[in-house]
Every structure is written in structure tokens, then in C-alpha cells.
Amino acid sequence: MPADPRQSPSLLGSRCGACATVVFPTMPVCPACRRNGTMQEIEIGRTGRLFSHTIARVAPKGFKAPFFQAFVDLDEGPRIFTLVGAQCPVEDGVLEDGMPMRLVVEPMADTPENKDLLTYKYVPADRPRGSKAVNRRGGNA
């Protein structure tokens, strides 16, 4: 993941120059055609579609429950596990499988253990965008 969240965030994946398979995270050997040395780093994951989601009712250490866990199919192909951005209220019916999603970068969780640890998350893409800043704090949405 690029370190600077002020730029349009993206994930760093690999694309095979031989068979065009895209993987995330980066891999040195293509998992599809097994060639070595064909993988090139590319920026992926700015947008995708929600494949499935669930609400976790029990929080692991460093997280607050409930929170969303989701799988997102990136436009480039890979299906990734992800958390959902804090701007998205954790309620049934907020997320719908198949809906377009976009990448944001924000703290892993609003807890002492994880508030300084930035990670990628996804939020519904078609929510009104009142601000270009995806990483603002304060929750005044």
C-alpha cells in the first residue's frame, strides 16, 4: 500500500506479464502459470465490488465490535478480505453484496492499539462525497 494517503489510494499488487493474472498482495512467482520473473508491480484496488460481508459481533484484541468484515472483488480481478471504512455505519442493510466499493485509507480501528496503524478499507462507492479527504478524522459526516 502506498504510504501517502493524501494521494488517491491504491493497493500494490502484481500482474503477470505472461498470462495477465493479477494478484494481491504482490507475489514473486505467478500463481496461475508458475513462471518466475514475469510479475510486475501495479497499483490496483481503487474500486471493486462487494462480494460478501458479515458483521463481526465479537472484537479481537485491538478492535471494537461490531464491525464489518467483507470480501471485495477488485476491478483488476483479485478477491480480497477487507474491513469497511468507519464512515459506513455497522448495521444490517447498509451493505449490499454486488454494490460498487471504493478504497479508503484509515486507522485500523479506533482503539489505542490500532489507531495509529493505517490500513486499507472499502466503503460504498456511491455515497455522497462531501469531502475529497478519505482519511479525515472526527466523524462529522
The contact set with Zn ion (CB under 5 A) reads 16, 18-19, 21, 30, 32-33
Nearer to Zn ion, 42 or 90 (CB): 42
Nearest to 24, CA basis, from 15, 32, 33 = 15
Nearer to Zn ion, 18 or 108 (CB): 18
Nearer to Zn ion, 15 or 102 (CB): 15
In whole angstroms, how close is the CB of 87 to Zn ion at the nearest point?
A: 37
In whole angstroms, how close is the CB of 68 to Zn ion at the nearest point?
A: 32
In whole angstroms, how close is the CB of 78 to Zn ion at the nearest point?
A: 13
HEC string of 1-65 equals CCCCCCCCCCEEEEEECCCCCEECCCCCECCCCCCECCEEEEEECCEEEEEEEEEECCCCCCCCC
